[in-house]
Structure formats: structure tokens, C-alpha cells
Structure 1
């Protein structure tokens, strides 16, 4: 009975995948143009070794005998794989079996969430769990420790059923075809293909930016500095910026995000608090980790609903006055040198002790030990 609960993603080697793909395409098509054998190898690699995808796509390409048809198909596989013949009506529904047999909606939601990251993106388990907590997926626990334990349990379960993959020590990622299926499930399968958007292009076009109005979750690794058109994010719940060279945001970028809950600017090049961030009054999770940010301005004090503030590896000083205004703060995770109060600097050890007890005007959970230990 246990074997019926998941479909293990057994992948072929690159040579095996190419040979199987060419077999399904057939010699007649492969010999119809000198460019097609090389294009067939490129298409086979897009299947990431997954036999079901290789067979489905190989059969679909068996009657394509011009390089132009092959180039168009490869582009479709890279951008809208669910639109490719056989993927949305055969491959993804079969892979969906493992998703359908996940034991509860929380695990399903956590699985789909990882699709917000680009292909081959690896993420630390603790960072992923913190995002799940920030999203509210792991609410209902008496403590952050309990929520973290549940997050680890979910990751292990998703690895057991082959929907997540180990990618080094304490890191996970998705197989590319599994990720395509997750995006299909989260968006097109439910009638809105723009619910989750991942923008990685070097130069944004107007039509791409226009889709942001529909997005619920958005990952940006593109350059934003030259955007001049008015921006609006009426449905955006989550924004993750993955551009380590990004130092500034366009004027007004944060002015219309009326329902945003999660903002992750970690590992970017910002050096000061982005203008307008104080307008994000619905924000519950804010991450500035591993940036060149050195001080928080008083604008942050307007974020009255903020529950999770992650600052690891960034700030040197922080005003106690700013933190004391964040009355709903539950987690203040940071590894920095000094906490600035009105009268003195507090060393990191004393900061950990006092921020967990009486240094601020309200209680919250300090997570520095758990993250650094």
C-alpha cells in the first residue's frame, strides 16, 4: 500500500535521456535536416532526465521536420511547458498523483510555495521554513520552536515522496519538471497563470510588468532601476528579490502594495532602507539578511503588524526606539555587533539576553541562538 502513495522521480543519465528521446522522435525526423539532431539533444536536456517527459515530448516532436519548429518548441519548453503538447494533459496529471496524496493542505501549500524560486534554485532549510512561518503556513503552534520542528518534518516528508530533492547540506530544491508541475498546479490549473511569477530577464518589457498586477507571489532577479512606468501590486502577498546587485528601487515602487505580507530583500545590494517601505502596513515578515544595510530608520516603526524581522549578517546598529514600536513582533533574529539604545551600546551577548527578557517594552521570541548554533 505504501508504494501507492508517491511516484518516485527516477531520472536517466544525460546519454540515456538523449538516446530515449531520439528513439521516440524517430530516424526519419532526425535525418530531415542537419540541425535537428543537435536541437533534439537540447530538447532532451530540457526534460531533465524524466522518462515520462522524454517519451511525451519525443513523440510530440516526431513530425517536426524543420529547425524553426524545433526552436519554437524548445522555447516553449523553457517558458510555458504546460502549453507543450502532452505536458498539461498527460505528464503533469501523472506527477500530480504524488501531490494529491500528500496528507494535508499545509504540506501541499508548502510544496507549491517552493515553485516561487527559479529553476535549480537551492535554499537552506531554515530559510525556507522561516518563509513558511512568515507566510502563515505554520500558524497554530505555541512557539516558534514547534513551528520550526513542523517545518523540518514537512521538508523530510516532501523528500520522502520525491517532491523535494537534497541539494547539499541542509538545502533543498525541486526537480525542474516537478517545479513546472507545481507552477501549473498553483496557477494555470486553477485558472490564473500569473498567480506566481518569476522574472529573471535582464530587461523588463511593459507587458511583463503589467502581469504584476495579477501576481500573488513574485520573485524578481531582474534589474529594476530603469523602470519608469507607474507600478501597482493590488494582489501581491509575497515579494522576494533575488538580485544581489540591486541597490535601489524605482520611485514609488512600494507605494501600492495594499495586502503584502512577506518581503524578502536578503542578499541584495541595498545600503539603506528603501523609500516607501513604511507604507507596507500589512507586512508581517521582513528579511534584510546579508545586505549592506547598517541602520534602520524610524520609518520602520509604522509596520505595526510586523511579526518576523530577520537581519542576520547585516546591521551594525539599530535604534531600540524602532523595535519598541513593533508591538506584534514575535521573532527578532539577528547576528550583528551592537544594539544602540539611547544611552549605550549593548554587546551581542547582552542583546540576546535582554531582547528575550526586558530590554524592550513587550515580549517576543529571540531566535539568534537557533540560527547561529
Structure 2
């Protein structure tokens, strides 16, 4: 059965310290029922080549297969293929794994015994069994009470609730998530116990009863959060969902209700309310956390179990009291891609999701009587110029490599994600009064005409990645983006005008996160007017970083997270800070730097609680502030760990 914990156990193995030491090269891919070899190879490459993965999207299936094989060749690797449904899927993937006698291993999870047999495993299969009564109670207790003790008067009824889940971990965790939200009293728990269906795992319809248990937790959700949960059904099976996108989709669909506050306090932003909604779904065990942010607090990516996805789809297709489908999900599939149209009949709006690079036939998937408010191309792209007149209600746009059209005509647009702007003249955003998030993976020139400059973009929250030029500098200096919370700049020395933008950063009084992407160039950091309220800075692609630059960063009073990515240092020994520098820094990340030694004076980084190093192969010594972090001092390559001076 689904929900026994196969993926959970595989994750435990994959992430264990012992396995990381044994296998320096690791990769994970979820195969799932909706199998696509190309997507599997892309997932593996995302683990094997994270810094260059974004440029692999346009490769063919055979090219991706060869790149995976080349990345694994000659290495002692561990590859996890999760949720393999049939033998054909295994046969279509297995040839990409080199048999080089270096101790490479492949771990499969499956519900199908035949898959286990045809995989020619040299080790015995591990068949997961149902939990016994004590194991069920222990899991239930941990989910409800964490490290606290259960009151004696509640233990008998608590054990009964746990036993009613028949030893299935997913059912236990889901029910425990519901119980944890209720009053801790015998009456409240008795009410839950009486509503749970009685069933036996030996029954033929046990999966249907299992679905009743999951639905019980869905029914207990506040009404305002039910459409948010059901919306997760539009994503492919086992999809790792970016929380950033999910919350902005909820906003585009009008699911997030504003919170009223007193006059003396500003109301929270919709993005912050969305974070609260997601936390509630996670607390109830309806949504699984896949990755957390670098600070370890917020959720970066999430997913839902296959059974919950089935529940989302079945509940979405049920008619409401008026005989209409509150949310209507339809899937149009072909090999390697599918389109999903999500329709809200009550408001006559729809969202269009397209996965895979086959966009032929669009926009025929769109219901004729609906206004499109979401277009989400996960992989492919399409020229939307001829449809602009029909997209007046569009609020969310995610599109791949494409010619840039007149974006300013999309008057309702709130979120826009794109891969590339190929219009040399730039992207005109003047007049987009509702725009909150604009992201281009490669730097884009921002243009605003004279008429557009008169109206400041009050709603814009994030702007990434834009070219640091004189036009942007003028916009920043004139307060054109007064409420910007995140800014990503692409800095090219050949432009020769980045300094004006960098000197104007101090005008962004609400800026919290700053990303500077240097195109193989460098601007001394002491010439940048960093806002004092910054809490996170990411630098990438830089040249000749030195100790003086680190002192500049260390003087930013609110800085909590610092990430240095894929750059070079001017010195073999980099001083990370003088006494009193980085007063609030909590997380320090280095990835791909050619540095041999890091030092820091006594009293620097007093609040540091996590340090992470990826692909720093020459690194031999780190400061004692980092050595004292214990398990929170992390390395991606365990074979370099022994070369570090940690004592």
C-alpha cells in the first residue's frame, strides 16, 4: 500500500552521514506513475550538476542520458529511484548507470514486486510491514506531543485512535496532525475517535477506507484553506513544488484573504499570509517539507503524497451545492508532457498548466467561456503576442525561453517568471501597477517611459534579475520601487554603468534580500551603498574577493545570511571578519570558491549557528567560530573533510 514509508526510509538512508561518507556522489529522482525518462534524467542532473543544471533544460532525452552517464562514470555513486511503478520504466532508465566496478549502488522503491524482481538485485528486498501497536502509539505520540509527555487521562483514547489507523504511517501522521489542532480533552478526542472509519488492511476496499481517513483531515481544514490544499492537485505526481510559486499562484487565484489589523499596525503582506497557510498544512501533515531555506526556518520546496494528490483531484471534481464544480481539474496527456486546465466555474476564470516541451495545440486546451488568469509553462515556451488582447485578466505568468512581448499590456499581471529576455532594447514595465514579482533568470534591461515614471510601482516586492545600469540606478534613486523587498542584479563590467545602480541601493528602505550576479567581473564592495536593513546577501560569479570586501559585508548591522557562490578570491587566506563584525550573522555558505584558508578574529560572527561549504576542494582551515558549530558545520565532499584543520 501507499503510505507505508518507503520514500521516508529511502530519504533516511540517502541523507545519513554514514552514506554521505561512503558515496561522495549521490543523486535522487522520483519516477512515479506518470513516468518520463527525460524528467528522470533531468532530476538526476539537478543533483549531479546543480550549478549548471538550468542550462540543461533544452537538451534531448538522449543528450540528458549521456550527461548523466558521464557524470557518474568512474565515481562511487548512490542513485535513488523512488516510486518505480512498472518494469518498463526501470528498463528505460537503467542503461544510463555505468557499471565501472567502483562500488556504485542503486536503491529502488516500488509497490510492485515484479519491479523488484526484474531489477536483478544482488541483495534481499526489504518489504516494509505495518507498524505494531507500540510503534503506532510512539509515532502518534511524537506527532501530537513532540518531546512532551501525554497526560495519563488521554493515553487510552490516544492509543485507540492510533490503533484505528491499522499501522499505516501516513494514516497515523495525518490523524495525529488533526488531533494536535484540537482541544486536549477526552471529549474532543472521543469525538475524533467516533468519526474515524473502522477498517482492516485485509479488506479489498482498504484503500477507499484509507482515503476516508485522509478526507477526514481535509474536512477539518478551515474553509479558506481548502481551495489552497486542493490546488496542489494540479502539479504532477511527486513534483517538488517551489513554495514561492505556490503562494503566488494562490494569490493569483484569490485564495488568500487579507487579515484585518488595528490602525496602528500595517496589515501583513499576502505573501506572509500564504506562508502561514502553508505552515498550517505542514503542521497537519497534509503537505511534506522537502527543502528548507538556508536559515532552516522557512520552507523552500514541498510536495504531497500520491494519495493526497488523488484526494485533491477527486474532491475538486465533486459538485458543490449549486451543482457546479467549485474547482475542475482536467488532464490532457501525451508522452513526456501534459496540460492541466483548472477552472473555477463561479468566477469563470481558469489556470493553464503545461508540463513538458510540447506546446502544440495551445491555446485550444483553454475553455472557451473562461478568462485565463494563470499561465504556467513548466518547461516549454510559446509566443503570446497574438493573444495579448485575450489575456487582460492574466495575473500569473511562468514562461520559458521566449521573445519578450509588450508586458505592459497585461494590466492585471501580478507575477511574471521568465527564462530570458532576447529583446536588446529591454523590457518595458511601466503601467503594471499590480505587479508584485518579476523574475528573469538572465539579466534583463528594465525600461520605463516618461509617462510610466510618474506612477511609482508601489506593489513591487521582488525584482530579479535585472541589469545594473544607469536607467535602473535612476529608477532606484527616484524611489520608483518604494516597497521592494528582494532585488537581484546582473553586473557586467562592459556596461560600465553598474556603479550608479549600486550607489542607489541605500534608497531601498524596505529591501531585505540582495543578490549580486557578477558576469566574470568585480566591483569593490566598499563602493556599494548597502541598505542597513539587509538580512540576506548572495554574491556569485565574482573575481578577486578579498578581506577588505569581507569587512564591508561585516559592517552591515542586520545581515543574518551570507552566501558566496562560484567566485574567486584574491588571497589564499581570507579574513572573514574583525572583532565585532557580522554581529547578527547566523548562516554562512560558500560554494565553489578556490580558497585555502579562512580566518576570523575573536568576537567576529558571535551569533553564527550554521556554516556550509560546497565544492571548496582546496579549503584546509576554517575559523574556530565555525569549528565550534559541531554538526552544523557541513561539507558536500566528505573526502576533503579529513584535510581540514578542525582541532
What is the TM-score normalised by the length of structure 1? 0.59
Give the direction of change, closer, same or farther, for the CA distance of 1:279–1:168 in structure 2 (3 Å limit).
Answer: same
CA RMSD of aligned residues (A): 4.7
Give the direction of change, closer, same or farther, for the CA distance of 1:296–1:247 in structure 2 (3 Å limit).
Answer: same
Is 1:315 aligned with 2:421? yes
How far, CA to CA, are the matches of 1:117 and 1:339 in structure 2? 32
- What SS does the aligned partner of 1:119 have? coil
Give the direction of change, closer, same or farther, for the CA distance of 1:357–1:120 in structure 2 (3 Å limit).
Answer: farther
Instruction: Indicate which of 381, 388, 412 corresponds to 1:270.
Output: 381
Larger relative contact order (CA 8 Å, sep ≥ 6): 1
How far, CA to CA, are the matches of 1:296 and 1:274 in structure 2? 9
Query: Residue 217 of structure 2 aligns with which residue?
Result: 98
Task: Indicate the structure with greater strand content.
Answer: 2
Give the direction of change, closer, same or farther, for the CA distance of 1:254–1:57 in structure 2 (3 Å limit).
Answer: same
Listed as ranges, the matches of 1:257-336 within 5 Å are: 258-265=370-377, 267-270=378-381, 272-273=383-384, 275-288=386-399, 291-293=400-402, 295-298=403-406, 300-311=407-418, 313-317=419-423, 322-336=428-442
Contact 1:11 1:51 in 2 (8 A): no
After superposition, the C-alpha distances for 1:142-172 in whole angstroms (9 at most, x for unaligned) are 9997322222222222122110112244211
Contact 1:254 1:279 in 2 (8 A): no
Query: Residue 347 of structure 1 aligns with which residue?
Result: 467
Q: CA deviation at 1:357?
A: 7.1
Query: Residue 140 of structure 2 aligns with which residue?
Result: none
Query: Residue 152 of structure 1 aligns with which residue?
Result: 275
- What SS does the aligned partner of 1:268 have? coil
Q: CA deviation at 1:175?
A: 0.8
Q: CA deviation at 1:371?
A: 8.8
Contact 1:144 1:365 in 2 (8 A): no
Query: Residue 343 of structure 2 aligns with which residue?
Result: 216
How far, CA to CA, are the matches of 1:155 and 1:342 in structure 2? 35
Is 1:246 aligned with 2:358? yes
How far, CA to CA, are the matches of 1:115 and 1:326 in structure 2? 30
Give the direction of change, closer, same or farther, for the CA distance of 1:284–1:250 in structure 2 (3 Å limit).
Answer: closer
Give the direction of change, closer, same or farther, for the CA distance of 1:325–1:127 in structure 2 (3 Å limit).
Answer: same
After superposition, the C-alpha distances for 1:205-234 in whole angstroms (9 at most, x for unaligned) are xxx99x96xx517xxxxxxxxxxxxxxxx9
Task: Indicate the structure with greater helix content.
Answer: 1
Give the direction of change, closer, same or farther, for the CA distance of 1:278–1:287 in structure 2 (3 Å limit).
Answer: farther
Is 1:132 aligned with 2:245? no
- What SS does the aligned partner of 1:262 have? strand
Contact 1:122 1:167 in 2 (8 A): yes
Give the direction of change, closer, same or farther, for the CA distance of 1:260–1:144 in structure 2 (3 Å limit).
Answer: farther
Q: CA deviation at 1:174?
A: 0.8
Contact 1:235 1:259 in 2 (8 A): yes
How far, CA to CA, are the matches of 1:49 and 1:86 in structure 2? 15
Query: Residue 78 of structure 1 aligns with which residue?
Result: none
Instruction: Indicate which of 188, 197, 204 corresponds to 2:330.
Output: 197
Give the direction of change, closer, same or farther, for the CA distance of 1:87–1:259 in structure 2 (3 Å limit).
Answer: farther
How far, CA to CA, are the matches of 2:223 and 2:472 in structure 1? 36
Contact 1:237 1:259 in 2 (8 A): yes
How far, CA to CA, are the matches of 1:263 and 1:242 in structure 2? 11
Q: CA deviation at 1:173?
A: 0.8
How far, CA to CA, are the matches of 1:183 and 1:257 in structure 2? 22
Q: CA deviation at 1:180?
A: 1.2
Is 1:59 aligned with 2:209? no
Is 1:11 aligned with 2:4? yes
**Which runs of no fewer than 5 residues in structure 2 stay unpaired?**
10-110, 116-126, 129-167, 173-196, 261-265, 293-299, 450-465, 489-512, 516-537, 539-647
Contact 2:374 2:394 in 1 (8 A): yes
How many residues are treated as equivalent by the alignment?
Answer: 283
How far, CA to CA, are the matches of 2:392 and 2:370 in structure 1? 8
Contact 2:404 2:427 in 1 (8 A): no
Give the direction of change, closer, same or farther, for the CA distance of 1:349–1:315 in structure 2 (3 Å limit).
Answer: same
Listed as ranges, the matches of 1:107-126 within 5 Å are: 107-126=225-244
Larger radius of gyration: 2
